[in-house]
Structure 1
Amino acid sequence: MGAVFVGVRHHSPACARLVAATISAQQPAYVLVEGPADFNERIDELLLGHELPIALFSYSDEHASWSPFCDYSPEWVAITEARRCGAEVRFIDLPAWHEAFRDVSNRYADAELRYAEVVERLCREFAVDNADALWDHLFECESEPKGMDEYFDLLRGTATADAGDSAREEYMARWVRAAVRDAGDRPVVVVTGGFHTPALKAKLDGGTEWPEVPERDKGASYLVPYSHARLDAFTGYQSGMPSPGYYQQVWENGVRRAADWLVESVAARLRGRQQPVSTADLIAAHTQAGALARLRGHENPARTDVLDGLTSALISEDLTQPPPWTRRGTLHPGAHPALVEMIGALRGDRVGRLHPATPAPPLVNAVQELLRAHDLDREGKIALDLTDARGLERSRILHRLRVLRIPGFERTSGPAEGAPPQLDEQWTLRPVDERVAALIEAAENGATLEEAAGVALERRSRDARLDQLAAILFDAVLCGITTLSGKVKAALGEGITETGDLPALGHVLGAVLGLWRHDRLFGTKRDPLLGSVIDKATARVLWLVEGLHGGPAPADPHRLRAMAATRDAVLHAKAALSLDVADVTGVATRVSNDAQAPPDLRGAALGLAWALGSTPDVRKVRAVDALGDWLAGLFAVAREEVLASPDLVGVLDELVSAMTEDEFLVALPALRLAFGYFPPRERETIATTVLAHRGVEGSARSITRLTADPLVVAEAMAVEKRVDALLVKGGLA
């Protein structure tokens, strides 16, 4: 009998029906399906009795991909119908880890870019917006669609297969030839993407030996629960079809009843959001959809007919963005509520579930056992004392789950990178359907939770920026993973010696210094590699600062943070530094006196020298230009020294008092930034010093508790001044 080819569009109910009808009519010996051949020995796992959608997840050292199945996927229907009629089922495509799939994350994604020109031409010919609407118009809304083979022949005739496609098609053809030989006078049904079908038909001549399945050294394949949300093209998935919730209805009930369901579902969702939807609106939507279907020549209302009818009936104002079904894309913020609910109804809410007997990677059971043993497999809020051994271990488990992006574990407070140590954490735990799928997918990183989290962090570090490396190191410490730290610290050291990014360098120095200083909490025990990072970063900050020149510019809080981190390194990690205090003070003094250095850095350098024991001459402050920016630098690095110096506060009071209104308004934003480094109680201390300097008695609290925003007051002063000037000019003063 030979091969009977059924080219399909992935996740198409029309194609799924065609596959079922073909298998029923042919009663084949073999049904060959586009899918990973390395899973053939375990194909019975697909038929254990899962609740769809599910996906076959495959991973290796460098790549991971999914082969998703829902009830109306042609590949799934091929498998189930083959078993129903007693045919042998074989996946015939290359494994997902093969070189041919290097850039493929979803085996059943559309390959629209390969035949964009012909699709655009057909869309113009049939007056539809895109490939999805074209497919519905030609096949999905027809009771007996015709011309599907011609459609795929046209697509393939205008496209060029790349090297990956050619390798896959050659491999699949070998399976077809072997199955035809083995089947004798019985037919073989071949179900593949329509793009590949014409090529396979042309490759029936050749060897007829069963092909070998390529082997791999590392990696595995497992079934994972999937969801309609993950399948939907409107959420970014590159599926063969969008709107899985709608097409589930098409598969179960037919196109006409799916149209009624969509209208009713959107209305129910809008009413659930307290959006008014009247009976007249629903009648109008049904009427519009029917009229559009007739106008467009559809036997039954297509998806876009119903959506356009709903849009016309429910939205009277102009839309701020085109509806997603006209362009296949995600909704942007600010979308009309009706559009949001239409997309939600189209998507559906099904979440797949695996049969309990489905094999799972070791990580799944390991994590579930850890959660039970540590009382973390529940819902609610928990508080952890990080000074307690059990609390610290539970924290590390939760952080490992966090870095693996396992849903259902949210930290609401706790130690932060570069911040003073916090000795407790707050977490919110909640059960989520996606957790098992996420754990199976995370198993590509390792068999235990600690190993998997370590590998995930190491992968993140490969292409990370300098500041990202510091965050990864901090995550490793929170996870209690020591195997990773050496690699990240080495990468940090290399990045520090090469970077010219002062803000990133300050971020790294502050973060690593926090780990060095608070070793009791983090268990880093004055790590010598951390000390090396601190030494290199401190020297690099000073080198960059001394060479940084430029005119007056707004104070940069990020580079000021680098200067503050340098101060802390000298004060709290002196043993790790190759520089001595005199070296650092010398650099700081030179920068503070450098007229070409930015004002904020000059102020910060003076503050650094002051914090390290060098007493400044406060009289020189009178010669400072860009006072606000200069003060921002000084206060960022030497806040405590300023508070203890009434003489400096007095000089600053005299300088600000001597400003004209114009000068004060210009300087106000920078002054506000500068004094923002002081918390409220310290501002009150400064106010008390100012009152004493002026010989005024009274409480400073009242003048530091403004009820109005200072910028609003400044703007009001500026307006008043302009009004006075106009009155004078008009002789009305």
Structure 2
Amino acid sequence: MTGPGPGPFLLGIRHHGPGSARAVRAALEQCRPAAVLVEGPPEADAVIGLAADEGMRPPVALLAHAVDDPGRAAFWPLAEFSPEWVAIRWALEQGVPVRFIDLPAAHTLAPGGDDGERLAPDPAGTAPGPDGPKAGAGTPGDAVPRLDPLAALAAAAGYDDPELWWEDAVEHRRSADGGDALVPFAALAEAMTELRTAFGEGDGPDGARDLVREAHMRLRIRDARREFGAGIAVVCGAWHVPALAAKRTVAADRQALKGLPKVKAAIGWVPWTHRRLSRHSGYGAGIDSPGWYGHLFHAPDRPLERWMTKAARLLRDEDFPVSSAHVIEAVRLAGSLAALRGRPLAGLTETTDAVRAVMCDGSDVPLALVQDRLVIGDVLGEVPETAPATPLQRDLSRLQRSLRLKPEAASREAEFDLRKDTDAARSRLLHRLRLLGVDWGEPVRSRAGTGTFRETWRLSWEPELAVKVAEASAWGTTVLAAATAKAEARAVGSAALADVTALAEHCLLAELPGALPAVMRVLADRAALDADVVHLAEALPALVRSVRYGDVRRRDTAALGKVAAGLAERIFVGFPAACAGLDADAAEAMRGHVDAVHQAVTLLAPETAPETAPETAPETAPETGAPSGLRHRWSGVLGVLAGRDGLPGGIRGRAARLLLDDGLLPDGRAARLMGLALSTGTEPAQAAAWIEGFLGSGGSGGMLLVHDERLLSLVDDWLTGVPPAAFTDVLPLLRRTFSAYDPGVRRTLGELVRHGGPAGGSVTRPGARPAAAPPLDPGRAAAVLPTLRLLLGLPDPSAPDPSAPGPATPTTPGAAR
């Protein structure tokens, strides 16, 4: 099947251009070529037939990766409005052979073949321009300036913005019925010839690579002509058209390809997103507005009116007052702006200005919704199950279907109840993937509560996760096997004790029974050899969380409990010595370790009931298996820290506060410790550090002062007695402490101090009622009692008791009869 003329038909296009896509379809219908050649890696010829599968929904991408190094990978994205995709689908529908002719991925992925070691965003050069020296927007962090052939063409046409020129000249042009569909391609080829002459064949950062690619394309075109004849169509970046039409010898082209590095590569289809097609994503696939281009490609007529209707529907869904009158006026304004600017049709710039002025009342806040949801969009493509994939990818797809956890491009939050089998399985899958480096989900703090049976995740599937899955395939053929193997390897390779304990916690969350014994052996070895108290304190909290909350996931954590108890005992022995001789920064860090160890010990060894007799008390805590006296020994350590002179004031104050919270300070002991710390003989900076350690930050410390009048009186007495010369040094520390309190707490403290004395003296002395506390108003208190009874479900004492015998009912004479 051949078309008019000798061929081959070189169809120069702009990647991801809807105007180019429509022109390619028209040209193919006119030429009816015997074969279609498309710019892309030849390894994809084996999977090109899947483009016609019903389960294939663009945007999708060809993903090629080195078999020995899956992290070395490259994408070739395709959208519905990509000219290459249109050409592929046309050829498959017509039964015409279709081939890829670009440089093989085996060369592109080889070290030194495409800038070396990093992930290539798009070696096919999907740039805003027609695949010239500007081809490819580069990798993240690439700051090399690139030549822009579009800018030269736009300047020749009198345009300052090359994007506007391309839209007017190509994207907004619709071929008239009966016109020659090849004329635009001939004109574009002539323009590219002039540009290549002006810029030079091998100039620019991509010039040398382009010459190699074009040599390979010419060889593939020669092969296709020998097989199918001259009537073939070539769909490639317009920049390459002059080079492909040039007369070069076979020997010269083969010489250009001689000695190229090569690796073994595998290729397949993966889902892509509109957001990854946009330049904003960092992958630089070449278009600012994939949603807008998709609309232009699919709109059968009146694209401006249809776009404004979409924008109005989106804003109404977000509760913005937009009516049909807004749509009519926005269409008029966009058309007027296009006429004033000399454009044939209203483009994205005019539509955006009209939407901002008419529908958004000049505000950029609702306009940002339109930009994000419509101009870019969150469309996620789909790949059929029959597409080639690694065993790990197939297992992941099976789990996603069975757990009804569908990948989505848009970020969303999902809450799991771990008491339910399905939610627990979803949690395990996400934790296993995180262990493999596939961060599909990120744990976030739950807004619904703090129960240990609840988990909240933020889910967002990004296309590059397909590369992470390919990399993780080296660890195993299933998610469970791969996560287990990687956990064991990480345990052996971890040098820090805290890393191993965090890994043990992760193994419990991901339910990896095969990896946990190996992790536990490494953990026991590291714990036995590490004598640094700070390292032990950093490792203990994660280990205790695993022990304490393992029962929610129904795990046996007895071995972890023994290791945690051993770590705690070693921390108790070395903590007082480790707290001595610290500077201010080290003391603040150590105070954080005191808090963390205290919380861990509280979880590991819960307090026994006071009525339990010593002889009947269990030797170990039933929940964790920790020794029953562990918490008592930690209280002794806190007592040593609180009363030992020479330790940093922040640590001593924090230890006293923790003992007070646990009710382990006798009456007056806290006041005595505070009095000693805030005495006139203590350096003001150390006294202020003690206050900060004792009161802490946030609302808890302030509420302690609000409700404990004695402590507030001590603090007030010390503060008023600070010498003026030292007050300037103390003020920043006090401000840092008190500024962290809630505004209501600070206001209450101010009222207490203000009413403390007739002349602004100290606050109420111990045993006296503060003047700031007003007397109880019985009337106001009685007004809230009905509401409290309703909330607490208590009976109303003023209501008659239905079970009590009522008063005798008076009767009339003869009623007994």
TM-score band (shorter)? 0.5 to 0.7
Q: 2:15 aligns with which of 1, 10, 24?
A: 10
Q: What is the rounded CA distance, in whole Å, between the counterparts of 1:542 and 1:152 in structure 2?
A: 80
Q: What is the rounded CA distance, in whole Å, between the counterparts of 2:295 and 2:283 in structure 1?
A: 20
CA offset digits 1:337-395 (Å, max 9, x no partner): 13412542323565434445444443455346557878989999864349x9x997775
Report how far residue 244 of structure 1 moved. 2.5
Report how far residue 604 of structure 1 moved. 4.1
Q: Which residue of 1 aligns with 2:199?
A: 157
Tell me, yes or no, if the aligned pair for 1:63 and 1:97 is still in contact at 8 Å.
Answer: yes
Same amino acid, percent of matched pairs: 22
Q: 1:526 aligns with which of 544, 559, 568?
A: 559
Tell me, yes or no, if the aligned pair for 2:12 and 2:235 is still in contact at 8 Å.
Answer: yes
For 1:326-405, list aligned pairs within 5 A: 335-348=364-377, 350-355=379-384, 357-363=386-392, 365-367=394-396, 383-385=417-419, 396-397=428-429, 399-400=431-432, 404-405=438-439
1:183 aligns with 2:225: yes
Q: Which residue of 2 aligns with 1:35?
A: 40
Tell me, yes or no, if the aligned pair for 1:361 and 1:440 is still in contact at 8 Å.
Answer: no
- TM-score with structure 1 setting the length: 0.67
Q: What is the rounded CA distance, in whole Å, between the counterparts of 2:235 and 2:71 in structure 1?
A: 29
Q: What is the rounded CA distance, in whole Å, between the counterparts of 2:153 and 2:529 in structure 1?
A: 57
Report how far residue 73 of structure 1 moved. 0.5
Q: What is the rounded CA distance, in whole Å, between the counterparts of 1:501 and 1:232 in structure 2?
A: 50
Report how far residue 304 of structure 1 moved. 1.6
1:92 aligns with 2:102: yes
Q: What is the rounded CA distance, in whole Å, between the counterparts of 2:76 and 2:446 in structure 1?
A: 35
Q: What is the rounded CA distance, in whole Å, between the counterparts of 2:10 and 2:209 in structure 1?
A: 19
* Counterpart residue identity of residue 39, structure 1: A
- TM-score with structure 2 setting the length: 0.61
SS in 1 for 2:38: strand
1:78 aligns with 2:87: yes
Q: 1:51 aligns with which of 40, 57, 75?
A: 57
Q: Which residue of 2 aligns with 1:275?
A: 320
State which drifts further: 170-179 or 263-272: 170-179
Q: What is the rounded CA distance, in whole Å, between the counterparts of 1:395 and 1:198 in structure 2?
A: 55
Q: Which residue of 2 aligns with 1:601?
A: 651
State which drifts further: 492-501 or 23-32: 492-501
In structure 2, relative to structure 1, the CA distance for the partners of 1:251 and 1:618 (3 Å cut) is closer
Report how far residue 231 of structure 1 moved. 3.3
Report how far residue 307 of structure 1 moved. 1.8
Tell me, yes or no, if the aligned pair for 1:8 and 1:194 is still in contact at 8 Å.
Answer: yes
* Counterpart residue identity of residue 593, structure 1: D
Q: What is the rounded CA distance, in whole Å, between the counterparts of 1:260 and 1:449 in structure 2?
A: 48
Report how far residue 179 of structure 1 moved. 2.9
Q: Which residue of 2 aligns with 1:475?
A: 506
CA offset digits 1:23-57 (Å, max 9, x no partner): 44555455332222222222212222333322223
Q: Which residue of 2 aligns with 1:445?
A: 472
Tell me, yes or no, if the aligned pair for 2:268 and 2:388 is still in contact at 8 Å.
Answer: yes
Report how far residue 311 of structure 1 moved. 2.3
CA offset digits 1:198-253 (Å, max 9, x no partner): 66667943447798998756x74332333434434456653222323322232233
In structure 2, relative to structure 1, the CA distance for the partners of 1:344 and 1:608 (3 Å cut) is closer
CA offset digits 1:486-535 (Å, max 9, x no partner): 68997999999999997x98554421343367777654553699899889
Q: What is the rounded CA distance, in whole Å, between the counterparts of 2:424 and 2:306 in structure 1?
A: 52
Q: 1:624 aligns with which of 670, 674, 677?
A: 677
Report how far residue 449 of structure 1 moved. 1.7
Structure 2 spans left out of the alignment, 5+ residues? 1-5, 128-135, 138-143, 176-183, 408-412, 606-623, 628-632, 679-685, 697-707, 761-817
* Counterpart residue identity of residue 338, structure 1: L
SS in 1 for 2:319: coil
Q: Which residue of 2 aligns with 1:63?
A: 72
Q: What is the rounded CA distance, in whole Å, between the counterparts of 2:287 and 2:527 in structure 1?
A: 45
Tell me, yes or no, if the aligned pair for 2:17 and 2:83 is still in contact at 8 Å.
Answer: yes
Q: 1:709 aligns with which of 744, 763, 771?
A: 744
Tell me, yes or no, if the aligned pair for 2:34 and 2:97 is still in contact at 8 Å.
Answer: yes
CA offset digits 1:617-653 (Å, max 9, x no partner): 98554231455642554588xxxxxxxxxxxx99857
Report how far residue 448 of structure 1 moved. 0.8
Larger Rg: 2
* Counterpart residue identity of residue 749, structure 2: A
Report how far residue 15 of structure 1 moved. 2.0
SS in 2 for 1:92: coil
In structure 2, relative to structure 1, the CA distance for the partners of 1:535 and 1:555 (3 Å cut) is closer
* Counterpart residue identity of residue 432, structure 2: R
Report how far residue 466 of structure 1 moved. 9.6
SS in 1 for 2:287: coil
SS in 2 for 1:526: helix
State which drifts further: 187-196 or 37-46: 187-196
Tell me, yes or no, if the aligned pair for 2:417 and 2:455 is still in contact at 8 Å.
Answer: yes
* Counterpart residue identity of residue 594, structure 1: G
Work out the number of aligned pairs and report it.
645
Tell me, yes or no, if the aligned pair for 1:178 and 1:209 is still in contact at 8 Å.
Answer: no
* Counterpart residue identity of residue 548, structure 1: L
Q: Which residue of 1 aligns with 2:714?
A: 655
Q: What is the rounded CA distance, in whole Å, between the counterparts of 1:72 and 1:450 in structure 2?
A: 39
Report how far residue 671 of structure 1 moved. 7.4
Structure 1 spans left out of the alignment, 5+ residues? 320-334, 417-421, 576-580, 637-648, 677-707, 726-733
Q: Which residue of 2 aligns with 1:639?
A: none
